[in-house]
Structure 1
Amino acid sequence: MADNNANVATSRNRWSEQEETVIAQEIIKNYDVLFGPMTGCGALKIGEVRRRGWEAVANVLNWFVLLVLSIFQILEILAE
């Protein structure tokens, strides 16, 4: 039983070239929020601003992966 569960929770060790491109573009787009100096009125803590920036990067990557998976599923259906 443990052998079956071990296969379910596998993780990838590498990103595809397209995924790396998407991540790089989003990091470049949000560079100031993620790595730049923070100034302002202090309504939000720096950690919260940066967390939201990384969350935005992750959301775009998740959207991209879901889009690619959906395309593969459509192609499988059409191939049948």
Structure 2
Amino acid sequence: MTEAPPNPRHVVDPQTLEMLVCPLTKTRLTLSSERTELISVAARLAFPIVKGVPLLSLDEARNIEPDEIQRHSR
């Protein structure tokens, strides 16, 4: 079974991603390999992307495990 391509309206624009920073540390964010979260390595937080909109609220973020941080800091 193949996945349907994402709705173009639900994809974050790469230029927009370059402008976004972590609300806590003001450092650059990295797009997860699944393209569903923005990762702040410095804060050890993952911010969800919902329907193409990054939710950069600390209330929405989840903590990242150390092994996951290593994958995103490469």
TM-score range, shorter chain: under 0.3
TM-score normalized by the length of structure 2: 0.27
Q: Which has the higher contact order (CA 8 A, sep 6+)?
A: 1
What TM-score does the superposition give when structure 1 sets the normalisation length?
Answer: 0.26
User: As a proportion of its length, which structure holds more helix?
Assistant: 1
Select the structure of larger CA radius of gyration. Answer: 1
Say which structure is richer in strand: 2
